[in-house]
Amino acid sequence: MTLVGVEYLDELPYDMPLRVNVTIAHNSTMMPSVTLYYTLLSPSRIITSGGWHLLPPQLSVSNPAGNVTTYKFSIPFRFHDDGYPYRSEIVFYVEAIDAGGNRLLTASSQDRWDPLLQDDKFSVEIMDPYPPVIGSVSRFPILPNEDAPVTVTANVTDYGSGVKEVLLIYSGEDLVSHTLLMNQTGSGMYEGQIPPSAQATKIAFLVAASDNAGNEAASKAASYQVISGTTPDSSRYILSGIILAAAILALIGIWMARRGLGGVVDARARRLEHPKAMTTLLVFVLAVAAWLYYVLVARGAPILALIEASALILGWGLIDPRVDLMIFPKRAFNRAPATSVIAEAYVLGLATAIGLAGGYLFNIYSTGKLYSLALTVAPYVLLLFLVGIFLQLAWPYLREIDVSFQIEHVRDERETD
């Protein structure tokens, strides 16, 4: 029994299985059983993934005479979720035993279990041939004036060797390029700032990235023109004004309902069991809506911000018993006001799903941007849900604290009648 040859790649991309072909000449009546032993050495030369592994061939192919057989092996690549670590090393050897007990070992029997001694073994270095992936690139403000710097945010990932640096390259009408090193602000998120420019100047910019293996990538070039005025981004403040006006109108409507000034909802307002608790929770929800709106606008998603804030405000209108909309479902909220915050969590989650789905269908946001926005909104959904659960559990105790207020409220109503 003789080893004819072993075929494999000397360098392997981190996300591919290692395919090994072992050809052995043998007696035609005694086809050997062949096993491949392999292990993985980390870049720091430490054995990982549980030591040595045994691998049988996936396929064996013999010549017509039956005395030469090629055994095909495939070493799987998913030792880790994203493949082999960059610059790690696969070490392997082959053992064949035929029916007569004859053995062929490609490694020294004395050192076969030591992967650091590789003179008698085969080794493959793990490489990263892929450039970094530049996902969404956004800027804020959208309409900068001559006093406003522009913040560029980019989502950059590299699952092989890792991101080495991300650069922001920009130029004005003089076509002189300027390069800035972008700072990492989160997982896969990088940020850089273009200084203010003169009015009517057109600025072109792009994001370039490199990884630790020397691969490079660049985003598509984008541009903006500097406008006049004192507002960094008028659209932000216009939308903020809309949200603020809606919140004020909602509060005025509830106040009128409580005083019976609307006529239609007077009777229903009188049946409100916990007005102080309901008003406090309304202020809390409005604060969450306002802050979430500001955060999303700052991340370059004013449309989604408007959807989210509007959904929370309109959702409260469907929940609050003082508002003359959808009477029947409000009984539960009237008895236990804390459930209104839980309901708002569901409203926010649904509005997020609809907003992100629309952004994807109409190509408003890239996949990376959608993922980033979903991670931004998720904590607020969780906040509303957890606060609602906590208040619901604590409501029997909180209700006792509010007894004196409820008695005074009923007494005032009786005096008014």
- Give domain limits for the chain: 2-127, 133-225, 234-416
HSE-CB of 238 using CA atoms within 13 angstroms: 8
Q: Which of 8, 11, 9, 10 is nearest to 21 (CA)?
A: 8
Q: Residue 155: which pLDDT band, with cuts at 50, 70 and 90?
A: very high
Q: Do domains 2-127 and 133-225 have the same CATH topology?
A: yes
Tell me which CATH homologous superfamily contains domain 2-127: Immunoglobulins (2.60.40.10)
> 250-289 pLDDT, tens per residue?
555 555 555 544 444 444 444 566 777 777 887 888 888 8
Q: Is the pLDDT reported for residue 312 higher than 50? A: yes
Q: Residue 332: which pLDDT band, with cuts at 50, 70 and 90?
A: low
Residue bearing tokens 């000034």: 261
- For residue 114, give both structure tokens: 């030591």
Mean pLDDT of the chain: 80
> 374-408 pLDDT, tens per residue?
888 888 888 888 888 888 788 777 766 644 444 44
* Average pLDDT of the residues in 189-204: 91
Residue, of 256 and 304, whose pLDDT is higher: 304
Q: Residue 203: which pLDDT band, with cuts at 50, 70 and 90?
A: very high
Q: What is the fold, at CATH topology level, of the domain defined by 133-225?
A: Immunoglobulin-like (2.60.40)
**Best-predicted range by mean pLDDT among 79-93, 128-142, 403-417?**
128-142
* Average pLDDT of the residues in 317-335: 63
Helices 275-298 and 302-319, interaxial angle, to 10°? 170
Residue bearing tokens 């004036």: 145
Q: Is the pLDDT reported for residue 351 higher than 80? A: yes
Question: 253: which residues sit within 8 A by CB, 6+ positions away?
Answer: 262, 323
> 10-58 pLDDT, tens per residue?
899 988 899 999 999 988 777 899 999 999 888 888 877 678 999 999 9
> 70-124 pLDDT, tens per residue?
999 998 875 545 567 888 899 999 999 988 888 999 999 899 999 988 888 999 9
- Quick one: pLDDT at residue 276? 76
Residue, of 213 and 373, whose pLDDT is higher: 213
> 233-247 pLDDT, tens per residue?
444 455 555 555 555
Residue, of 315 and 246, whose pLDDT is higher: 315
Contact criterion met (CB below 8 Å) for 239 and 297: yes
- Quick one: pLDDT at residue 45? 80
Residue bearing tokens 């799987």: 76
Residue 239 main-chain phi, psi, to 5 deg = -65, -40
Residue, of 127 and 322, whose pLDDT is higher: 127
Residue bearing tokens 């996300």: 15
Residue, of 246 and 221, whose pLDDT is higher: 221
Q: Is the pLDDT reported for residue 142 higher than 70? A: yes
- Quick one: pLDDT at residue 70? 94
What is the pTM for the complete model shown? 0.53
Q: How far from the centroid of its chain's Cα atoms is residue 338's Cα?
A: 30
- For residue 348, give both structure tokens: 């926010």
